[in-house]
Amino acid sequence: MAITTRLSRRGVFLGGAAAVLAGFAIREYRLIPEDFSGGTLTVAQAHEKAVAGEILLLDIRTPREWRASGIGQGAQPLDMRREDFLDVLDRLSGGDKGRPIAVICARGVRSARLGNRLTEAGYGNILDVPEGMLGSAAGPGWVRAGLPVQAYSEGA
C-alpha cells in the first residue's frame, strides 16, 4: 500500500509540474508576435506621422487598456474585438484601402497579427508599431518614451 501511495503522489506532482510548464509555454507562445509582412514604425515615428496626418494610427487595445494608460496623441481608439471593426476602419480611412494605416497595441503582438489580417483583407499599406504602448523587445514603447497621451472617456 505504501508503494501505491508514493507512486500516486509522484504522479500527481509530475502531472502538476507538467501542467505548469505547459501553461508557461502557451503563455510565451501567445506573447511572440507573428512575423509581419509590412513595414514598421517606431513609436516616435508613429506619433510624428499621426499628428502630421500622414498616417491613420489605430490603437486596437481594449477600453480597459485605454483607461489604464491613455491613448497616444494622434491615435484613433478602435477595439479590434468589435464586430463592426472593418466597417469602422473603412469609415476612418475614408474608404481608401491604400491609405497608410499604422496599428499599435500594448506590446506589438496583436498589432502584428491584425496587420497581417488587414493586408489579407485588401488593405495595401499597413504598418506595425511593434514597441506598442508599453514596450517590447522592439523598444521602450509609447509611455516610457514619454510621448503624449490623452485620457480615454467612454463617450469619445
Query: Tens digits of per-residue pLDDT, 11-37?
Result: 777 777 667 666 655 555 454 555 666
Closest CA to 102 of 94, 112, 90: 112
> Which band of pLDDT confidence, cut at 50, 70 and 90, is reported for residue 104?
very high
Q: Which three cell numbers stand for residue 97?
A: 484601402
Task: Give 49-95 pLDDT, tens digit per residue.
Answer: 999 999 999 999 999 999 999 999 999 999 999 999 999 999 999 99
> Which band of pLDDT confidence, cut at 50, 70 and 90, is reported for residue 150?
very high
> Which band of pLDDT confidence, cut at 50, 70 and 90, is reported for residue 7?
low
136, with CB counted inside 10 A (0-12, 13-18, 19+), is buried
Is the pTM higher than 0.85?
no
Report how far apart, in Å, the C-alpha atoms of 79 and of each of 20, 82, 98 are.
31, 6, 21
Dist. CA 103–CA 107, nearest whole Å: 11
Q: Which residues pair with 127 in a beta bridge?
A: 39, 102
- Is the pLDDT higher at 41 or at 12? 41
Q: Are strands 56-59 and 71-72 parallel, antiparallel or unpaired?
A: unpaired
Residue 33 has what pLDDT? Answer: 52
